[in-house]
Structure 1
Amino acid sequence: MANPESYRPAPGTIPTEPGVYKFRDSSGRVVYVGKAKNLRARLNNYFQPPAQLHPRTRQMVSTAASVEWTVVASEVEALQLEYTWIKRFDPWFNVMYRDDKTYPMLAVSVGERFPRAFFYRGPRRKGVRYFGPYSHAWAVRETLDLLTRVFPIRTCSNGVYNRHQSLGRPCLLGYIDKCSAPCVGRVDEAEYDEIVRGFMAFLSGRTDTVVKELTRRMNDAAAALEFEKAARLRDDLEAVNKVMERQTVVLGGDTDADLIAFDTDELEAAVQIFIVRGGRIRAQRGWVVEKTGDEPGSRERLEEGQADPALPSLVRDFLVQYYSDAVERVNEEKAEDARLAASKVRRRGVDQESVAAPAPPVPVPHEILVCDEPAEAPEVAELLCELRGAAVDVRVPQRGDKAALMQTVKRNASEALHQHKLKRVGDLTARSQALKDIQDALGMDEAPLRMECTDISHIQGTDVVASLVVFEDGLPKKSDYRRYRIKEAAGEGRSDDVGSIAEVTRRRFKRYNDDKLANPDEEAGAMMFAEEAAEVEATSTRRFAYPPQLFIVDGGKPQVNAAQAVFDELGIVDVRLIGLAKRLEEVWVPEDDEPVILPRNSDGLYLLQQIRDEAHRFAITYHRQQRSKRMRASALDGVPGLGPARRSDLVKHFGSVKKVKEASVEQIQEVKGVGPKLAEVIFAHLHKDDPLPGPGGMN
């Protein structure tokens, strides 16, 4: 690992103009590419003391051995050059939104003499046109099955094609008219090209032309009394309409837009894009990528409902990379189509226009709707306009159908990130590796098979609560979850997160000590752990199986020190204590002045993060319940002898609790079911805090 100070540029040598910079390792390989409005200000940030850098940035500057830069004339040029260099050098530390390798797609082998359509997963190849991606494999196969009724393109492999060509008879699909059977010469090359062009035109979104043409041909056949042909065309039209029905209509019929939304945590970002053409959702794509740590605001803590300060730069980078890649891919497809068309012209001696494939769809739509305005929005919009060759509207939808659809895209991004996390911790091998990573990082004798984590939740010192979640063998054990109302360290608008952590730790392990002393002959697996009903809101009254090997507090060194003081006070020596600081995902241990940094791709770090997030979720849920309960509280709740039904009758009779308080005893007595004695109790309860009458007598 290199010392960043060894290659830091001399003071004053870095220009202050906009530009793009590259970090190279000792072998000369580019490990990171970035851009800046002011190169000097940006690059100086990388040469701060290592402890102040984001873990991934710290790793990058330690891996690099040199830095170089190129000055450009404008910020738009900087965006373009940054994309070009990222594409060229493929740096390890840059976020790369690569093509999905998991989504199923429809592919057409346009490079073959008689192209075939087939289901495909994997990287893109030359000579093949791709459509999709689709959300499910069955959707690809069903779409292909329906479209071959209208466009009888071959779907067989080259081996099957060659075999039937040598046999001189078509396969089953040829006999049932779901393939035009070019293998036996049923159609010539020009006729087959027309079928392929219609198939690709339909998949490219030009569905209206196909529907109008089929309708016209059906009506002409019926007018000519060719009823069998008309019936066949009617069935083809139904097949086309069935395919179109699978594309949900969400916006106006002439709307072409892409909707892009992100969901992020401290380590990763999930992005989803819905591609809407002609008002219909034509495709959906998604990625989960690791954040670089170089985004503005990456060091800041993300709270519940708080926007990620790194989000604008993530949106900017995605827009530049995704649409630049799309335009580059379309240009390659156009060049390949032109080459293939020229080859067919030479082979068949026909007009080039008659063999040209339909042009690929425009990759940059007129509207790009995003969840958050990108950083450097004017420059990004200018670059997208250059890529499209026309105006592009980049904006955040505020109301109406587009805003509603954006919420759906956001939910998909959140679910994608959640499923990505579950996949990592749900796999047995990954869980075992995660526990081993934690054991090695903390120097524990055994893997922490049982871990507990606590977190505090409140709003400005009101309804202060805490959660305690339990993971066993890397999985949540919800039957052992506990919830606490903080009494000593907070209340009446006063909050102390450090004191609250100490209180929860003391209450949890004081009971553990008491049970251990009361049951000295029992194993830890049989020890009772419960709190009085007034102190703990528990999800169940089950016993804890055994004390944790690892106790986690949400926070940094102050929280860990507070919990360790409780451990010392209670004599807890058989439980390892750590704190997980959300700001930089640092693991703090009581005896060290420096945190333990787990690799960002470590399964152990993902497991710790999931435990902490689960504790946060559980605490937030309980806090909302308490807040909602308090807000629903009524001045009538504590009246002796007044049940829910009579409370409801009182409010209905007077219209509000305020009007009940203004009523006299006689007026309260008029309510059905309220007698003179109860009316006096209600009146006294509602006026118990009123000031006493003055010396002049009763008010």
Structure 2
Amino acid sequence: MALSEAVLDKVRNLTIQPGVYLWKNDRGQIIYVGKAVNLRNRVRSYVRHDAKRAPKVTAMMSHAADVETIVVANEMEALILENTLIKKHRPRYNIMLRDDKTYPYIKVTVQEDYPRVFMTRRVHRDGARYFGPFADAGAVHRVLKLIQRAFRIRSCRTMQADRPCLQYHLHHCDAPCVHYITKGEYGKLVEQAVDILEGRDTGVVRRLQEQMEAAAEEMEFEKAAMYRDQITAVKVIQEQQNITTVGGGDMDVLGFAGDAGQTCVQIYTIRQGRLMGRETFSLENSADETAAALTSAVLDQYYVDGVFVPKEIIVSAVEDKEDYERRLTLQKGQNVALVIPQRGLKKKLLTMAEDNARVLLEQRRLQWQHDTDKTSGAVEALARVLDLPRLPERMECFDISHTQGIETVASMVVFEHGRPAKQEYRRFKLKTVQGKPDDFKSMAEIMGRRYGERDWPAPDLIVIDGGKGQLHAALPIIREAGCEAPVISLAKRIEEVFVEGRSDSIILSHHTPELQLLQAIRDEAHRFAITYHRSLRGKRNLVSILDHIEGIGPKRRKALWGAFKNLDAMKAATVEELAAVPGMTRQAAENVYYFFRLGTDEKRKVVENKADLQNV
């Protein structure tokens, strides 16, 4: 796409100040975010015709239609703003840690009087300590289980209780909610847990050993057994961290490997000179990128606020080294150095991380090739069995979800070359059938809305979740919209396939790749639809719940929904966070906060009392 003369004129007249630039496509979507010391020079470099320009830049500029700039005071502010905008918009052409928003962390709420420990997939600037991200959620659950067994730290949301819960009786918590342990004693347990999570050997096992022996001498055998179990749990945690002495203090080592457009980064975690573990991540949109650009992407997305930052980060190359060191130093509160080693121990560690990244990349490449061969075979088999005019390289599948006609929604999922293309997924809130279930009418509406859109790519095969009736409801609308793609429906009962123009159904053999492909896209459409339906139903239920809280009317209810999005987020909010919502008072915030901490019977009384008052 050629840039208009107006956009080119805008580029020629940009400021020479530092800032951030955002390239947008013709729909106004942000496709790339970058930072610049000199905005004019940097942005102009994109519009010059340069034979040496990277293929990714050429591809990006073929979709670019406009550019927006944000001026900041200095390079440091540009770096921070760029990182924020990339996380917010996840542009198509920026390097991204794959699915980085879903990686789990261990969170310790050290800002609370009685901290709790649990797994989270979100990192906030809330004063808590975060450990991770981890590539394996199973490992996180195992560590959490051992932490609770060893240090008996609470994991519950609220301290409002009149008796200890089951976790206390299982010896997984010391019940600070009912003051079975002092704040000072509990704080020491939390400090020990944090030390273990940081990989620090602060004599935790030795102290527990001494406490166990002292308890045994005092004939307190139950307490001695408790210390014994704690020692066992701590040792298991340390063993799971795969501790190997390598020397060098606290550092992380970033090793990259790339091939055929795929990039893998291996991050070694070294604490007090011991290799505690390693995490492996894939990088999207990383083809033809330099090692320095890859390092910048990881520094931006891995070391988020609240995550532990070591004193040294070992890398092979880095852009804007001083700016990153200042940002990380500010985050840690101590000096942080980015080191590019030339020889010695750190160079050996970097080489080891890079070698391991190459091995893992090759393993993933072989797995990817195996999966590709498998999915390609399924696509070809499906075309053959259904006698399609061409390979169904783009398949679209639709499903409808509702509860007795309430909050009726539809999903469209797309498979390209036999694989989910999640960036192409769409969801629809249906307009013509609210309040009464009518799957045929719903399907007709969704077909009209989808295939009335001329800008979307045409499918090679359309799959409807349902039987012959759903197929007949969809076909006229699809054809009226000018779409000539083959249409089939897949009925769940015996996995019958109904095809346009055939009176009888096709029964595909079980466990064949073509049936598995159809089942996969059908099940994915169902998952996507029901997830959207549940989110809307949750919003409706949230509105219903808030109706029963004193001081919460329509305006405050709407403001709360806009601030917290879902019920879990609102339940977890503090009084201060609730009071900060526009239109909320301190009293209204306390009413919401304490309502969510009532027992079921107490909530029922509140609801009944309000109903009685309204009926007076």
TM-score, normalised by the number of residues in structure 2: 0.51
Structure of larger gyration radius? 1
Paired AA for residue 393 in structure 1:
A
Structure 2 residue aligned with 1:369, among 304, 309, 314? 314
Shift of 1:260: 0.6
1:405 aligns to 2:341 (yes or no): no
**CA deviation map 1:1-56 (0-9, x unaligned):** 55465621368534555543222334544332223344444333322449875443
| Shift in alpha-carbon separation, 1:136–1:420, aligned structure 2, 3 A | same
Paired AA for residue 248 in structure 1:
N
| Correspondences of 1:154-553 after superposition (within 5 Å) | 171=166, 177-180=171-174, 195-196=189-190, 198-208=192-202, 210-221=204-215, 229-230=223-224, 232-251=226-245, 255-291=249-285, 298=288, 310-323=290-303, 326=304, 328-329=305-306, 363-370=308-315, 372-427=316-371, 431-432=375-376
**CA deviation map 1:371-427 (0-9, x unaligned):** x12134344334434443433222233444433332332133224433443444333
CA distance in 1, matches of 2:332, 2:114: 32
**Aligned match of 2:24:** 24
Q: Secondary structure at the match of 2:62?
A: helix
**Aligned match of 1:80:** 80
CA distance in 2, matches of 1:243, 1:384: 28
**CA deviation map 1:513-548 (0-9, x unaligned):** xxxxxxxxxxxxxxxxxxxxxxxxxxxxxxxxxxxx
Paired AA for residue 57 in structure 2:
T
Q: Residue 19 of structure 1 contacts residue 35 of structure 1 at CA under 8 Å; is this kept in 2?
A: yes
CA distance in 2, matches of 1:10, 1:102: 38
| Shift in alpha-carbon separation, 1:431–1:50, aligned structure 2, 3 A | farther
CA distance in 2, matches of 1:272, 1:43: 32
Paired AA for residue 310 in structure 1:
T
CA distance in 2, matches of 1:40, 1:433: 50
**Aligned match of 2:424:** none
Q: Residue 96 of structure 2 contacts residue 285 of structure 2 at CA under 8 Å; is this kept in 1?
A: no
CA distance in 2, matches of 1:102, 1:67: 30
Shift of 1:138: 5.5
| Shift in alpha-carbon separation, 1:16–1:139, aligned structure 2, 3 A | closer
CA distance in 1, matches of 2:146, 2:222: 20
Paired AA for residue 60 in structure 1:
M
**CA deviation map 1:619-652 (0-9, x unaligned):** xxxxxxxxxxxxxxxxxxxxxxxxxxxxxxxxxx
CA distance in 1, matches of 2:349, 2:270: 11
**Aligned match of 1:34:** 34
Q: Residue 99 of structure 1 contacts residue 123 of structure 1 at CA under 8 Å; is this kept in 2?
A: no
CA distance in 1, matches of 2:184, 2:77: 45
**CA deviation map 1:305-363 (0-9, x unaligned):** xxxx721222234324433xx2x345xxxxxxxxxxxxxxxxxxxxxxxxxxxxxxxx3
CA distance in 2, matches of 1:133, 1:286: 10
Shift of 1:222: 5.6
CA distance in 1, matches of 2:121, 2:133: 11
Q: Residue 247 of structure 2 contacts residue 273 of structure 2 at CA under 8 Å; is this kept in 1?
A: yes
Q: Residue 268 of structure 2 contacts residue 277 of structure 2 at CA under 8 Å; is this kept in 1?
A: yes
CA distance in 1, matches of 2:203, 2:187: 17
CA distance in 1, matches of 2:335, 2:252: 15
**Aligned match of 1:597:** none
Paired AA for residue 336 in structure 2:
V
| Shift in alpha-carbon separation, 1:28–1:135, aligned structure 2, 3 A | closer
CA distance in 1, matches of 2:245, 2:5: 55
| Shift in alpha-carbon separation, 1:135–1:97, aligned structure 2, 3 A | closer
CA distance in 2, matches of 1:398, 1:11: 41
Q: Secondary structure at the match of 1:67?
A: strand
Paired AA for residue 431 in structure 1:
T
Q: Could you tell me the percent identity over the aligned residues?
A: 36
Q: Residue 11 of structure 2 contacts residue 43 of structure 2 at CA under 8 Å; is this kept in 1?
A: no
| Shift in alpha-carbon separation, 1:5–1:291, aligned structure 2, 3 A | farther
Q: Secondary structure at the match of 2:94?
A: coil
CA distance in 2, matches of 1:188, 1:389: 30
Paired AA for residue 413 in structure 1:
A
Shift of 1:124: 5.2
Paired AA for residue 47 in structure 1:
V
CA distance in 2, matches of 1:387, 1:114: 24
Q: Residue 195 of structure 2 contacts residue 202 of structure 2 at CA under 8 Å; is this kept in 1?
A: no
Gaps of 5+ in 2: 384-388, 393-416, 419-616
| Shift in alpha-carbon separation, 1:113–1:37, aligned structure 2, 3 A | closer
Q: Residue 33 of structure 1 contacts residue 85 of structure 1 at CA under 8 Å; is this kept in 2?
A: yes
CA distance in 2, matches of 1:5, 1:420: 45
| Shift in alpha-carbon separation, 1:215–1:272, aligned structure 2, 3 A | same
CA distance in 2, matches of 1:387, 1:184: 36
| Shift in alpha-carbon separation, 1:5–1:155, aligned structure 2, 3 A | same
CA distance in 1, matches of 2:165, 2:82: 53
Paired AA for residue 390 in structure 1:
Q
Paired AA for residue 265 in structure 1:
D
Q: Secondary structure at the match of 1:23?
A: strand
1:65 aligns to 2:65 (yes or no): yes
CA distance in 1, matches of 2:19, 2:36: 6
Q: Secondary structure at the match of 2:61?
A: helix
Gaps of 5+ in 1: 299-308, 331-362, 440-444, 449-472, 475-699
Q: Secondary structure at the match of 1:258?
A: strand
| Shift in alpha-carbon separation, 1:185–1:276, aligned structure 2, 3 A | same
| Shift in alpha-carbon separation, 1:268–1:40, aligned structure 2, 3 A | farther
**CA deviation map 1:573-618 (0-9, x unaligned):** xxxxxxxxxxxxxxxxxxxxxxxxxxxxxxxxxxxxxxxxxxxxxx
Q: Residue 19 of structure 1 contacts residue 39 of structure 1 at CA under 8 Å; is this kept in 2?
A: yes
Instruction: Give the number of equivalent residue pairs.
Output: 388
Q: Secondary structure at the match of 1:405?
A: helix
Q: Residue 150 of structure 2 contacts residue 233 of structure 2 at CA under 8 Å; is this kept in 1?
A: yes
CA distance in 1, matches of 2:113, 2:320: 47
CA distance in 2, matches of 1:272, 1:446: 41
Shift of 1:150: 2.8
Paired AA for residue 362 in structure 2:
H
